[in-house]
Amino acid sequence: MSAKVGGRRVIELDDQDVVYEDNHLIGINKEAGDLVQGDETGDMPLVEALEHYLKEKYNKPFKAFVGMIHRLDRPVSGLVLFGKTSKAQVRVQKLFKDRKIIKTYIAIVRNPPPKNQDSLKHYLVRNSQKRVTYAYDTEKKSGKVAELDYELIGQLNSYYVLRIKLITGRTHQIRAQLSAIGCPIVGDNKYGYPRGGRKRTICLHGYALEFTHPVRKEQVTMRAPIPRDDFWEKFMPIFNELDASPL
């Protein structure tokens, strides 16, 4: 849960925010609007909040180790994985780098996708000054290849729910690629959704991670519950069916 304290956005974690935990790893269901890593705003990042949570939960005399493995954009909600040891952190970072982790996202978009199911490949060019990523169909000099698979899993009125398997992991990749096919994510003003409505959040959720545990060598599947806000809850019949089905 997040709140403003003295002008600073502060995150207070509790047991309900924990999706998965063992001696090596911990997965947190991040709220949209929370930072994963600190920035110029000075707001509390998730990594700092998790240090406090683990220190208090296990009554540690010193700050708990929290190793950041990957990130989600600030306006995105969902599963963020951290290492509780440096060994686990490094090993899972390598799994991400080697594309040995299956990453599933859920997006709500306004326009119908061109196909009910498709694979997208674009060349992404990042404008760091504007903090925006452009997706092109043809190869660009400074472009990085971006790939994902999507499937239409539901519809409510003029909104469409997509399940996305992220193959590469580029900055703003899903946001830019969906915008490029005419399906901007609800609330994502930066990538073509009309202004107004949601504040500092978009309807993109990091839903699940699947991988072989780097220490235990067993298959791990983590799912982060869908955000509990008025808009997302309109789609709960679709998400309940999703939760009950294999990834």
For the cut 70, the answer to whether the pLDDT of residue 197 exceeds it is no
pLDDT in tens, 102-117: 999 999 999 999 999 9
Would 124 be classed as within a structural domain?
yes
Q: To the nearest whole number, what is the mean pLDDT of the chain?
A: 94
CATH number at residue 131: 3.30.2350.10
- Is the overall model pTM greater than 0.85, yes or no? yes
pLDDT in tens, 13-59: 999 999 999 999 999 999 999 999 988 888 999 999 999 999 999 99
Would 216 be classed as within a structural domain?
yes
Would 175 be classed as within a structural domain?
yes
End-to-end CA distance of the chain: 28
Strands (E), 31-100: 67-68, 77-83
- Number of compact structural domains in the chain: 1
The residue range of the domain holding 50 is 11-237
Q: How confident is the model at residue 194 (pLDDT cuts 50, 70, 90)?
A: confident
Would 243 be classed as within a structural domain?
no
